[in-house]
């Protein structure tokens, strides 16, 4: 199946995918910017800038295709361990996006939500987040979640802490803590769990992305480095997703 898919021309996928069976929520781990730049003898920051362009194009395309929720991994809780200048370059791109994306996303009727530990971010980024979330809050056509200072474990920890506080205050009993309650305490409980998670760049791991919600997500990996990722690659991933049998533990 994989060989067959590789031989197929990307443009073919547009006609092959079933528009009535699109994944409702796609998660994307935007990885490989650094290697993309290194291959060209360029600084990593250029790779990140190219990655931001790919992000713009893919979000635009996903919206036109009719995908209802997209979550993009922009900065992990572990990415702070990178050199200061790289962290600064990433934060400056993010700030720029929060500013530029504001009218762009409002025009596209897209609701932007930032998931992650936003308390730990700089004041200007926090202000950018408030503005973009506020001005896009009525967006109806798509939800764009940007995972920023995000960690899947931290998301579960924060839900567990909220549940523990509810138990201590007597609002619930410890045994009331179940799948449904914890799900309702995740960063944004209003979106469905991801149906499909895409990881380019040749790595086969989730790197702390959407750990709770990905329990039954379909995973799709590819060697493409994120700045090279195109609309055709997204179509390919959706086509492959539609060939899979999701059983959720059943038969
Ligand atoms: C993804 O690209 C961007 C972030 C993690 C913020 P990388 O910077 O991880 O690129 P590689 O993996 O080094 O190629
Ligand atoms: C995952 O990529 C985080 C983002 C894309 C934001 P990393 O490059 O940080 O992941 P590892 O280190 O390869 O696992
Ligand atoms: Mg990486």
What local confidence, expressed as pLDDT, does residue 65 receive?
97
Give me the pLDDT at residue 12, please. 82
79 belongs to the catalytic site: yes
Residue 94 has pLDDT above 50, yes or no: yes
Q: Quick check: is 99 in a domain?
A: yes
Q: Is residue 186 part of a domain?
A: no
Contact at 8 Å (CB) between 224 and 49? Answer: no
Query: Looking at residue 3, what is its pLDDT?
Result: 44
User: Cα separation of 38 and 141, whole Å?
Assistant: 37
pLDDT given at position 1: 41
Confidence (pLDDT) at 2: 44
pLDDT, position 127: 97
Is 188 touching ligand 1 by the criterion CB < 6 Å? no
Query: CA 28 → CA 34, 147, 243, distances in Å?
Result: 17, 10, 19
Q: Is residue 6 part of a domain?
A: no
Element housing 74 (H / E)? strand 69-76
Q: State if residue 224 touches ligand 1 by the CB under 6 angstroms criterion.
A: no
CATH of the domain at 93: 3.40.1180.10
Note down the domain range covering 118.
Answer: 22-150+196-242
Is 231 inside any structural domain? yes
* pLDDT value at 36 more than 80: yes
The predicted structure's pLDDT at residue 11: 63
Whether pLDDT at 213 is above 90: yes
Q: Is 92 inside any structural domain?
A: yes
What string of DSSP letters covers 159-182?
HHHHHHHHHHTTSS-GGG--HHHH
What is the rounded average pLDDT of the residues 114-128? 96
Query: Nearest bound ligand to CA 208?
Result: 2
C-alpha 126/C-alpha 152 separation (Å) is 20
Structure confidence at residue 120 (pLDDT): 85
Tally of domains in the chain: 1
The verdict on whether 223 is a catalytic residue reads no
Mean pLDDT over 68-76 rounds to: 98
Residue 159 belongs to some domain of the structure: no
What is the mean pLDDT of the segment spanning 206-230?
A: 98
Predicted confidence at residue 74, as pLDDT, reads 98
What is the rounded average pLDDT of the residues 53-66? 97
Distance 174 CA to ligand 1 centre (A): 40
Residues in the chain: 251
Per-residue pLDDT band at 10 (split at 50, 70, 90): low
Average pLDDT, the chain: 95
**Catalytic annotation, pick one of 56, 79, 188, 228:** 79
Per-residue pLDDT at 4: 45
CA 126 to CA 133: how far, in whole Å? 11
Q: Is residue 26 part of a domain?
A: yes
Strand partners, 148: 75
CB of 50 shorter than 6 A to ligand 1 = no
For the CA of 32, the nearest atom of ligand 2:
8
How far is the centre of ligand 3, averaged over its atoms, from the C-alpha of 154 (Å)? 19
Measure 137 CA to ligand 2 centroid, in angstroms: 29
Note whether residue 100 is domain-resident.
yes
* β-pair partners for 221: 199
pLDDT tens, residue by residue, 127-165: 999 999 999 999 999 999 999 999 999 999 999 999 999
pLDDT at residue 124 above 50?
yes
In sequence order, what DSSP letters do the residues of 88-154 get, joined into one string? HHHHHHHHHHHHHHHHHHHHTTEEEEEES-GGGS-HHHHHHHHHHHHHTTT--SEEEEEEEEE-HHH
């Amino acid at each position: 199946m994989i060989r067959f898919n590789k031989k197929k021309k990307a443009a073919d996928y547009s006609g092959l995918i079933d528009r009535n069976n699109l994944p409702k929520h796609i998660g994307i781990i935007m990885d490989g910017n650094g290697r993309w730049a290194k291959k060209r003898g360029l600084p990593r920051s250029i790779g990140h800038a190219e990655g931001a362009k790919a992000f713009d194009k893919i979000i635009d395309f996903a919206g036109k295709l009719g995908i209802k929720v997209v979550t993009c991994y922009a900065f992990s809780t572990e990415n702070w361990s990178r050199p200061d200048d790289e962290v600064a370059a990433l934060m400056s791109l993010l700030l720029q996006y929060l500013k530029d994306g504001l009218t762009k996303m409002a025009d596209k009727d897209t609701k932007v939500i930032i998931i992650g530990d936003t308390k730990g971010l700089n004041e200007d980024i926090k202000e950018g987040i408030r503005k973009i979330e506020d001005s896009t809050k009525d967006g109806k056509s798509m939800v764009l979640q940007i995972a920023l200072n995000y960690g899947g474990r931290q998301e579960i920890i924060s839900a567990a802490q909220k549940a523990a506080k509810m138990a201590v205050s007597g609002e619930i009993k410890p045994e009331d803590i179940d799948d449904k309650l914890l799900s309702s305490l995740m960063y944004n409980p209003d979106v469905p769990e991801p149906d499909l998670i895409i990881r380019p760049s040749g790595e086969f791991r989730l790197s702390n992305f959407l750990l709770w919600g990905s329990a039954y997500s379909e995973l799709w990996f590819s060697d493409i480095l994120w700045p090279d990722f195109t609309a055709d690659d997204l179509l390919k991933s959706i086509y492959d997703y539609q060939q899979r049998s999701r059983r959720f533990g059943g038969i």
